[in-house]
Amino acid sequence: MAYHTPAGAPEISIVTPTYNRRDVLLRAIASVQDQGFREYEHIIIDDGSDDGTRQAVVSIDDPRLRYLSFDRRRGANAARNHGIRAARAPLITFLDSDDRFLRSRLERTVSLFSARPRIDVAISSFEVTKGRKSAPAVNRSGHLDSETLESLLIAQTLAIAGSAITVRKAALDAIGGFDEGLWRLQDRDLLLRLAAAGYGAEILGEIDWVKHGSTDSISRQRGGYVEAYAALVTRHPRLRERYPDIVPYMVARRILSDLVQARFSVALAEMQANRREPSLDFSPSRLVAGYVGGRLRRRRIAREAKVLASATSAGETPPVSVAT
């Protein structure tokens, strides 16, 4: 399919939802303004902040910066969808307000999609920073077809986060954007729905953004993961059928991690959430069996995907699937 940028429109839209993060938001905006590529629009969607975010953003003299806001808090996914609808470019990438792009991000991304019109989704690698510590989250470069992408997503062997994702607007419109009923794992859900719709993804091994750990980040909360995972499985019921060992493995791994780190009350709450949620409800014996079998299956998926990613660089060969 051929994609064209309308006359006068930017080539790429950056969508940033924010809530009471004025200072780090200004860092994110500065990282976009520092890009070598200039034909963009940066859409800030303020989810009802009361910390002076509006005044700080509108005082920035940059016509490429667009400020939109809600009069009450509606959630990050509603803000992202509002930004997607407002976007004027045929290509959309995301930047969470506590993250920042490296200088090559936009130029490399636009060049990739311009040169490869059959690509609809790209997932880039990144660096995770928490305080003075940092660690790379790097994926092997290559093209994944939709089935392989789904396998890696459910096995959680692909390093992903919201700011890693770039999608053609037409593909986002086709699946309806983000699920506004999810409060966690929304990036994984978006990619699973893209995969279910037949979209594969180009995986980029070069780091082009930095994920900063924020104290108010939902992903850093230990409790509530199993409940969020149950919501994901509820929305994708075929995952339990296709990956009968990996689903209980992901639950067991989380509970075991809490036990090992002596977070006994959190582990108990997560076990109770597992039994309470109809999409999970695994018995202790099923969790043990799932942990053993799922761990082996997860390793096999990761190993086979690594081989396939190496063999399908730059889309020069037809993408093939990891066997399920």
3-state secondary structure the chain: CCCCCCCCCCCEEEEEEECCCHHHHHHHHHHHHCCCCCCEEEEEEECCCCCCHHHHHHCCCCCCEEEEECCCCCCHHHHHHHHHHHCCCCEEEECCCCCEECCCHHHHHHHHHHHCCCCCEEEEEEEEEECCEEEEECCCCEEECHHHHHHHHHHCCCCCCHHHEEEEHHHHHHHCCCCCCCCCCHHHHHHHHHHHCCCCEEEEEEEEEEEECCCCCHHHCCCCHHHHHHHHHHHCCHHHHHCCCHHHHHHHHHHHHHHHCCCHHHHHHHHHHHHHCCCCCCCHHHHHHHHHHHHHHHHHHHHHHHHHHHHCHHHCCCCCCCCC
pLDDT at 303: 84
Distance, in Å, from the CA atom of 184 to the CA atom of 186, rounded to the nearest integer, reads 5
- Mean pLDDT, range 19-43, rounded to an integer: 97
Is pLDDT of 217 > 90? Answer: no
- Would you kindly state where each structural domain of the chain is located, as residue ranges? 12-212, 221-313
Q: Tell me the percentage of the chain whose pLDDT exceeds 90.
A: 85
pLDDT at 224: 92
Is pLDDT of 289 > 90? Answer: yes
Min mean pLDDT across 21-30, 184-193, 207-216, 257-266 is at 207-216
- Mean pLDDT, range 277-292, rounded to an integer: 96
pLDDT at 306: 74
- Mean pLDDT, range 213-242, rounded to an integer: 82
pLDDT per residue over 85-123, tens digit each? 999 999 999 999 999 999 999 999 999 999 999 999 999
Q: Are 25 and 212 in contact (CB under 8 A)?
A: no
pLDDT band at 320 (very low <50, low <70, confident <90, very high): very low
- pTM for this entry: 0.90
pLDDT band at 169 (very low <50, low <70, confident <90, very high): very high
Q: Which fold has domain 12-212?
A: Spore Coat Polysaccharide Biosynthesis Protein SpsA; Chain A (3.90.550)
Mean predicted lDDT score pLDDT of the chain: 91
Is pLDDT of 77 > 50? Answer: yes
pLDDT at 215: 64
pLDDT at 266: 95
